[in-house]
Amino acid sequence: MILVSIYLTRIAIIIVFTTLNAYLSPQRFIRCRSMTFPSSIHRIYFRLAMPCLLLGLIAGCQAPGTESAEEPESPPSESTVQADFENYPYSLRDKLLTDILAGEIAIEQGQQADALEFLSRASINSRDERLVLQAFRLAIETEDYQQAIELAELYREVEPDSSRGYIMLANAHFRLDSTDDGLEIIRESILALPDDDYSTLRSTAMFLSSQPSETILDDYLALMGQFPDDARISLVAAQLALEIEDWERFSEQIDKTLSLSPGWEVPAVLKLSVMAEQDPDSAQTYAREHLAEFPEQKLLRITYADLLINADFEHLALAQARKILENDPDYLDALIMAGSLLFDKDDIEAKALLEKYIDLGGIDPQAVFYLSELAMQDKDYKEALNRLYSIGTNNRFYLEARIRIGRVYEERDGTEAGIKYLDGIAIQSQSELLRIVFEKDRMYQDAGDFEESRALFDDILLREPDNARLLYRRGLLFANMDLLDLHESDMLKVIELEPDNAYAYNALGYVLADKTDRLEEAYELISRAMELRPNDPYITDSLGWVYYRLGNNELAIQYLTAASELLWDGEIAAHLGEVLWVTDQREEANELWNRALEDFPDHPVLDETIKRLRDANSGVVLISTEQYVQNPDYFQRLAA
């Protein structure tokens, strides 16, 4: 308790004298009689000083031999670095506390050089890695790179098994323009690492890529040339080439790494990931060949499965996930991949796999979302709610989980119940507010209550009249309500606020093409959207549709086919089928629609298109017996 008294009293004294020193310097002494304290930090210091002094005196007066009840341990403060004083002799503790407090106060006052002096001395005396790190950062900030080198060396002594000390030391040398010395330290770091420590190897490459030198890769390769047979050296070179987007040398170094260590999975996965971005077909070929030689590599196989999913080969991806599970039934990535791929195909197996994933500690919220949807399909609303409520407030998918809870209440108890739940969600940001607003809009529109949805947007736009996202969504609502003048007004306002908003051009252009005879204006708007986002499936669909409305069926089929290849969607299929139908390609149209009806049952645009053309042309929409057996009510309604 005496020690506590000394500490608290010393804190008070340091605070008082440090603050007074700033105001009672010779230059200010003449004004001391009318001295004021304009800085809030100094007022805080004095308010802290008196309680510390009083508590120190009280603690010092406590009867010898008595101690206060022991308090439970608490984690160290994140805001202030403090050494573990109990490990040091009393005389050293006294000096350490003084230096640490003086350093912290100097930082608050913006006197970084003084703070560096205090904290460097505390670091040397304490050999506490947290203090050393704080002092090192100050040395870099104040450009005292020689001191930074000394502190980095100290850190390596304190934490000899950590690679951080190497990076700190190399950083200081690079800042002193001692590139060769810095790279030599990096070399030592790499050679000291085990082969499987890819995270540190990658961090090393990222550190090197952050250096201002434009020749850093050349410098690295020149120095590392004396170690031509070390795969770790080559992998860092490949990662560095990747970071600076030097694709030719990435390919050269990653192939060299794999030639030196053919069975090393990490570089194989890295190569596959880059190939998947640049040449997906070649990437698939590489993955198949590599897995034929190294079938046990699970990470590469799951990466290959992801590539197959992106290429719309879900059945092949599922086969890869199953192959992993044959040998390792508890491999989490394979469990969630297989479970999600089986969703809506084999719900029983999907549920078993996803539940196992969660039971084994899997943390991807998508598993929870899939399981809640499966419960919804079974009308097991209690199970769905229990799943979704398991996602806590600290999870970044918390809001998404709460929105899905609103959907459960909507389905179980009606639109009003869903809206009421959404109204009770605590909003933390503007983006979260908009997410809630858009979900409420969806609920109202699904219920056919367009006026409530309009009132929702009108109310918030009174407060935020220039919010482009709200204007865009209200504009879409107006189109659904056939209020074309209001739709046009909102979309033009969005374009005024965001001249490069491709979706606003596209929305207005599509509505003009679909619902008016202002086809030239529609074409100009959609063409502008296409310039801004040339590979967007919805914009490509709109361009095909306006060509159809202009009578250019050849270009219409070209662009609508391209749109369907970019995205398989019910409305795009309806548009393409219609153009095929009116150009006497009815067999192709029926084949397309049959496929779309399987994937998008009850799609309103698809339903309307097929029924309209059948009635107008007395055509027959061809369906298979299997399709009819799966959904007889739908086809009977369509024929009505």
Residue 205 contacts residue 243 (beta carbons within 8 Å): yes
* Chain centroid, CA 434 distance in Å: 19
Cα–Cα distances in Å, from 275 out to 279, 301, 312?
5, 15, 17
CB atoms near residue 47 (< 10 Å) = 10
pLDDT in the model for residue 291: 97
- Per the listing, tokens 């998008």 go with 600
pLDDT higher than 50, residue 638: no
pLDDT in the model for residue 99: 86
Q: How far apart are CA 26 and CA 49, in angstroms?
A: 24
The one-letter code for the residue type at 623 is I
Q: Which one has a higher pLDDT value, 147 or 196?
A: 147
Q: How confident is the model at residue 2 (pLDDT cuts 50, 70, 90)?
A: very low
Residue 254 contacts residue 285 (beta carbons within 8 Å): no
Q: Which alpha helices (DSSP H) does 261-397 contain, by range?
A: 265-278, 280-293, 298-310, 314-327, 332-342, 347-359, 365-377, 381-389
Q: What is the mean pLDDT of the chain?
A: 84
pLDDT in the model for residue 317: 96
Residue pLDDT, tens place only, 412-442: 999 999 999 999 999 989 999 999 999 999 9
Tell me the mean pLDDT in the region 93-98.
78
pLDDT in the model for residue 633: 52
Q: What phi, psi does 464 have (nearest 5°)?
A: -130, 70
Tell me the mean pLDDT in the region 29-58.
40
Element (H, E) at 451: helix 450-463
pLDDT in the model for residue 204: 83
Beta strands (DSSP E) in 474-607 are: none
Q: How far apart are CA 502 and CA 478, in angstroms?
A: 19
Q: How far apart are CA 104 and CA 240, in angstroms?
A: 37
pLDDT in the model for residue 48: 45
Q: Which long-range contacts (CB under 8 A, 24 or more apart) does 530-535 make?
A: 532/500, 532/502, 532/505, 533/502, 535/566
Q: Which one has a higher pLDDT value, 88 or 302?
A: 302
Residue 145 contacts residue 172 (beta carbons within 8 Å): yes
Does residue 246 sit in helix, strand or coil?
coil
pLDDT in the model for residue 86: 54
CB atoms near residue 462 (< 10 Å) = 8
Closest CA to 369 of 475, 377, 226, 241: 377
Residue 161 contacts residue 135 (beta carbons within 8 Å): no
Q: Tokens for 539?
A: 């914009």
CA dihedral of 436, 442, 443, 447, whole degrees rounded to 10: 160
* DSSP annotation of 35: -
Q: What percent of the chain is predicted at pLDDT more than 90? A: 61
Q: What phi, psi does 490 have (nearest 5°)?
A: -65, -40
The one-letter code for the residue type at 67 is E
Cα–Cα distances in Å, from 310 out to 24, 170, 364, 629?
70, 40, 19, 31
Residue pLDDT, tens place only, 259-315: 999 999 999 999 999 999 999 999 999 999 999 999 999 999 999 999 999 988 999
pLDDT higher than 80, residue 215: yes
Q: How confident is the model at residue 45 (pLDDT cuts 50, 70, 90)?
A: very low
Maximal C-alpha separation, the chain: 105
- CA geometry: angle 207, 213, 219, nearest 5 deg: 85
Q: Tokens for 89?
A: 């002799």
Q: How confident is the model at residue 252 (pLDDT cuts 50, 70, 90)?
A: very high
DSSP string, 164-225: HHHHHHHHHHHHTT-HHHHHHHHHHHHHTS-TT-HHHHHHHHHHHHTSS-TTHHHHHHHHHT
Nearest-10 crossing angle of helices 298-310, 314-327: 160
Tell me the mean pLDDT in the region 606-617.
84
Q: How far apart are CA 508 and CA 492, in angstroms?
A: 8
Nearest-10 crossing angle of helices 179-191, 198-209: 170
Q: How far apart are CA 255 and CA 266, in angstroms?
A: 12
Nearest-10 crossing angle of helices 553-566, 570-582: 150
Residue 476 contacts residue 482 (beta carbons within 8 Å): no
pLDDT higher than 70, residue 19: no
Say how many residues make up the chain. 640
Residue 214 contacts residue 246 (beta carbons within 8 Å): no
CB atoms near residue 302 (< 10 Å) = 20
pLDDT higher than 60, residue 318: yes
Beta strands (DSSP E) in 398-485 are: none
Q: Which one has a higher pLDDT value, 154 or 220?
A: 154
Q: Which one has a higher pLDDT value, 471 or 93?
A: 471
Q: How confident is the model at residue 49 (pLDDT cuts 50, 70, 90)?
A: very low
The full set of domains in the chain, from first to last, is 501-555 (1.25.40), 568-640 (no CATH)
- Per the listing, tokens 């005024």 go with 496
The one-letter code for the residue type at 501 is N
pLDDT in the model for residue 209: 84
